[in-house]
Chain A
Amino acid sequence: MFEDPVLNVLPFAVLLLPLGGFIVLALFGDWIKKDEEEQGACWLACATVVSAFALAVFTTVRLYGLASGAEGLRFSQPYLGFEWIAVGSFRVPINLLIDPLSSVMMLVVSGISAVIHVYSVGYMAHDEDKVRFFSYMNLFVFFMLLLVMGGSLPLLFVGWEGVGLCSYLLIGFWYRKDSASAAGLKAFVVNRIGDAGLILGMIFIFHAFGSLDLVDIADNAGALAPEALWQWGPVTIACLLLFLGAIGKSAQIPLHVWLPDAMEGPTPVSALIHAATMVTAGVYLVARLGPLFHQSETAMLVVAVTGAVTALMAGTIAIVQTDIKRVLAYSTVSQLGFMFLAAGMGAFGVAVFHLYTHAFFKALLFLGSGSVIHAMSGEQDMRRMGGLRKKVPWTYVTFLIGTLAIAGIPPLAGFFSKDEILLSALHNPTLFGIALFTALLTAAYMARLLFLTFFGEFRGGHDAEHHLHESPWSMLVPLVLLALGSIGAGFLKVPHVVQSVFRLPEPHLPHVAWLPAVATLTGVVGILIAWYLYLAMPELRGSLAQPLRPALRVFAAKYFFDHVYDGFVRHVVIGGSDRLLWKRVDEGVIDGAVNGAGSLTRAFAETLRPVQTGFVRHYVLLVLAGAVAVVYYLLASAERLAP
């Protein structure tokens, strides 16, 4: 660790640029926007995020330049010079943490945000509320950067809640649409469940360490006694509570239900918040506290199993979806499951690696789907698409690259990270099998999406076909940039770069010669299956669907999670509130106690009532009798005391 005056200022500049953009747009947005087609406000928003990205690059380069050849642990902790909270031993300074992990996250967040902001200028060109949109987007970038750069858990939590707020605001951006505002509420409420776990986890950690500083926690975690499987020590409980927060934010089973509905928001929002950045916050949290999770075998197993189960279930749901964005949403849930699987296997670096490559190709796929939806004038149902290859060639080529990247075809980005995940899961045959099968599913549902959308005949009718058009350049340039990222991102060995953060020795993954071949083959087979079923022999689908009907029905119903939650809320929460809490507890116990106190007083008063005769003489008599009694008592006690 070292002092550098520039590095003490730069990270705050990275952070505050988007915040400044938000404040300017929120206060003066309508004044900047003179008429409907005016795009000055949009470009202002882009400029703040692009310059934040440039400063982030500069920060990273400077940090590594100063520390080149130095010890493995390289980080800087800029400090704003004042404390946010100072209560006894509980102190939260306003400090940021710039180390390899937060550098990677900072670059991914600001870079992808910059690209998506530029894309949004074209995508939202005809929306009358675009100033509000861009101010929310800038606010989101600020909170997301705070989340990944915050030097302590409370600061991270501020960012965590802030991105949740922006997610809610942007999902419900088209608030006049009932389904959009309902989806926003759903995301908000489901996330609260996880956030409660995060708060409790923070309390536990403060109890165990006396500090919430991320560096302190990472440094001291190694000294804690490791907890074996099913040993419920403080570390296990803290980790599981934190993981509950991660589940909520990163849409893992059983709290994944909000993410598919979140697709009601504008497509750039889906790409930025619900694919590339915010939903990976849970993975970041687990990786950031990797040294702590590593001390608890139970927590690691829970993380790995949750990830594997989520990856598999979401993958199976994705193959039966017909809405182009929902396929991508379930794909995101599934890929996040992959990341947690790697983290649970102890390969935190690999999880971050997949997070990083996934950010490129999933943002690309979402933006590509946005371009398709733009071309289709708002239609999202893949059954009405087809044959778009020739109409929107740029979108098609970039989408193809994204699909191949996520399917794990070498040498695209997804191949490298997925290969490493499979490698890290190799010593657990069950989880490895699930991961490999999910990789097959990934290739299959993405190829299905590609074939349904871009190949075959157009199925949307003449009017829609007439309207088909390629998107403006402000949407195509981001697609090309992200496609380049999806091609090249895998060559940066992120696991090696971030390993020092975890305070653990670099895991010695065996070199398994057959694994890359098997992984590639899995991807190719998945694509071939989709090609066979959707292009070569579509009639085979019907005959295949017959025996598989029960399974497909379960997939289409999304494993009944929404039904179960709906039933729970309807019968247990609302019904229980109505029949038990209202009719029995409130009306019976609470009102009963209040009314009981009243009638008890009344009955008591009723028995004492005759004493008040209204005749003054009776009162005087009582006073006299009382006086006599007092005097008698005094005399009697004086007699007793006398010797």
Chain B
Amino acid sequence: MDHPSFVHHAVLLSLALFGLGTLGVFLRRNVITVLMSIELMLNGANLAFVAFSRAAGTLDGQVLVFFVMVVAAAEAAVGLAIVIALHRHKDTLDIDAFNVMKG
């Protein structure tokens, strides 16, 4: 049997991971770092899923985590391909350089 405050601690940790990821997305300028920060956010969410799943005694949350992992893998593949394309195009990875969609 888990410690009663197990879910509490797990959610706090997942919140910390998610917050770190969010800050990374907002503050870092390098596109690759931003992508890594997004991975951090996803894993924060995964942790919360697993914790709640464990506490509730069902497998739903863990199944969802596998989905998120698959999507994250696909996202990483496509995202890095886009990063390469961007780098070829602009010769930089500064995220503020890509503003052609400005209205």
Contact = CB atoms under 8 A, between A and B. Distances in A.
Interface string A608-630: 11111111110011001000000
Contact of A614 (B22, B25, B34, B100): B100
Contacts, number: 29
Contacts of B25: 617, 620
Interface of A: 608-617, 620-621, 624
Contacts of A624: 22
A612 B26 contact: no
B102 interface: yes
Nearest to B99: A614
Interface string B66-103: 00000000000000000000000000000110111111
Contacts of A608: 103
8 contacts: A613-B102, A613-B103, A614-B99, A615-B96, A615-B99, A616-B96, A617-B25, A624-B22
A619 to B, nearest CB: 9
B22 A616 contact: no
A624 B38 CA distance: 12
Interface in B33-56: 34
B26 A617 contact: yes
Contacts of A613: 99, 102-103
B95 A612 contact: no
Interface of B: 22, 25-26, 34, 95-96, 98-103
A283 to B, nearest CB: 76
A630 to B, nearest CB: 14
A464 B98 CA distance: 96
Given A613-B99, A615-B99, 20 more contacts: A608-B103, A610-B103, A611-B103, A612-B102, A612-B103, A613-B102, A613-B103, A614-B98, A614-B99, A614-B102, A615-B96, A616-B95, A616-B96, A616-B98, A617-B25, A617-B26, A617-B95, A620-B26, A621-B26, A624-B22
Nearest to B96: A615
Nearest to A623: B25
Contacts of A621: 26
A481 B77 CA distance: 100
A612 B22 contact: no
Contacts of B96: 615-616
Nearest to A617: B26
B95 A614 contact: no
Nearest to B26: A617
Nearest to A605: B103
A12 B101 CA distance: 77
A559 B1 CA distance: 114
A614 B26 contact: no
Contacts of B100: 614
Contacts of A614: 98-103
A133 B25 CA distance: 88
A609 B103 CA distance: 5
Nearest to B34: A616
A617 B22 CA distance: 11
A624 B95 CA distance: 18
Nearest to A608: B103
A613 B102 CA distance: 5
A608 B100 CA distance: 17
A616 B37 CA distance: 14
Contacts of A617: 25-26, 95
Contacts of A616: 34, 95-96, 98
A615 B101 CA distance: 9
Contacts of B98: 614, 616
A403 to B, nearest CB: 91
A610 B103 CA distance: 6
Nearest to A606: B103
A620 B41 CA distance: 13
A613 B100 CA distance: 9
A614 B102 CA distance: 4
Contacts of B34: 616
Contacts of A610: 103
A278 to B, nearest CB: 71
Contacts of B102: 612-614
Contacts of B99: 613-615
Nearest to A613: B102
B71 to A, nearest CB: 16
A614 B96 CA distance: 8
A615 B22 CA distance: 16
A624 B19 CA distance: 12
Nearest to B102: A614
A612 B25 CA distance: 19
Nearest to A624: B22
A476 B93 CA distance: 104
Contacts of B26: 617, 620-621
A620 B102 CA distance: 15
A620 B98 CA distance: 14
Nearest to B31: A616
A413 B63 CA distance: 106
Closest A-B pairs by Cβ, 5 of them? A614-B102, A614-B99, A612-B103, A609-B103, A616-B95
| Residue of A608, A610, A611, A617 with most partner-chain B CB within 10 A | A617
A624 B22 CA distance: 9
A588 to B, nearest CB: 33
Contacts of B101: 612, 614
